Amino acid sequence: MSDPLVSTAWLREHLGDDDVHVVDASYRMPGMRPPLTVDDYKERHIPGAVFLDIDVVADRDNALPHMLPQPAIFAREIGMLGIGHDDLVVIYDRGDYMGAPRAWWMFGVFGHQRVKVLDGGLKKWLADGHPVNAEAVSPAAKTYRTDFDETRVRRIDQMTRNVETREEQVIDARSRERFEGSAPEPWQGRRSGRIPGSLNVPFNELVDPSTGLMKHVAELRRIFEGAQADLGRPIVTSCGSGVTAGVLSLALARLGTQSALYDGSWAEWGLPDGPPVATGKP
């Protein structure tokens, strides 16, 4: 499996290629200020980049946050961004791995084979002295074809069955405090705790804080194995609302392990009438 990351140097070299399309998929958690990453995009973005709002390219009839849209909706929205199903898509965020891995996963779910994440995002791009601008981008729409891969998505009924069968390992990307139930949830009205039997790999531990780059493959392997994950067995990633779980799935892909992602994540499981939760240290 090829590395799902590309460097800023690679993107700078290929930025003008006809089949390379750059997507800003930055996202902020609830309560963060300023709340709208599209405003950041309008102020400055990688030249030619379009903006993908994961709250808009979503199932907006579902009360849960940014749930996966129907294939026809995804095809319409991505086609309007001027992206075709054979194009090479490079996705970035502000450099905090909030948004880009989720969008990378979405493209993969809908069968897009040529999709990458910019390692270090806009933070690394700027640090390396590469250009940005505020020019409006108005691409010509394309016809986009999807090929839905249900093996990369998990729903709550599958997750509740798995609590009993333990056929798949569930790895939670939230902080240790949220995983153990000692910190309140940012998603209003959710209980604290974790899915019973799940493991914990906080997503930020996979990133080098000094550079914003994802850690080397050997270190990623050490972190997952240190959390008691068996990389040879099926894995499902989870988090607060299906965003930072994408960071785990991205890191696992770098290790040659394809995982599924629980779309509803804690925003669904943690509802007052949701399934049982576990708390405290595992």
97/20 same-domain check: yes
Q: Is the domain of 159 the same as that of 98?
A: no
Q: Which of 108, 142, 176 is the last residue of a domain?
A: 142
Residues 9 and 138 in one domain: yes
Host domain of residue 25: 5-142
Catalytic residues: 239
Q: How many angstroms separate the CA atoms of 247 and 239, rounded?
A: 10
Whether 189 and 256 map to the same domain: the answer is yes
Residue 25 sits in a domain whose CATH number is 3.40.250.10
Q: How would DSSP label each residue in 65-118?
A: TTPPPPHHHHHHHHHHTT--TTSEEEEE-SSSSSSHHHHHHHHHHTT--SEEEE
Instruction: Enter the DSSP assignment of 22.
Output: E
Q: Are 163 and 126 within one domain? A: no
Number of domains in the chain: 2
In this structure, are 177 and 131 located in the same domain?
no
Cβ atoms within 10 Å, residue 189 = 9
Asked if the structure places residue 193 within a domain, the reply is: yes
Q: What is the pLDDT along the chain (282 residues), one digit of tens a residue?
A: 589 999 999 999 999 999 999 999 999 876 555 556 788 999 999 999 999 999 999 999 999 999 999 999 999 999 999 999 999 999 999 999 999 999 999 999 999 999 999 999 999 999 999 999 999 999 999 999 999 999 999 999 999 999 999 999 999 999 999 999 999 998 889 999 999 999 999 999 999 988 999 999 999 999 999 999 999 999 999 999 999 999 999 999 999 999 999 999 999 999 999 999 999 999
End residue of a domain, out of 123, 142, 161: 142
276 belongs to a structural domain = no
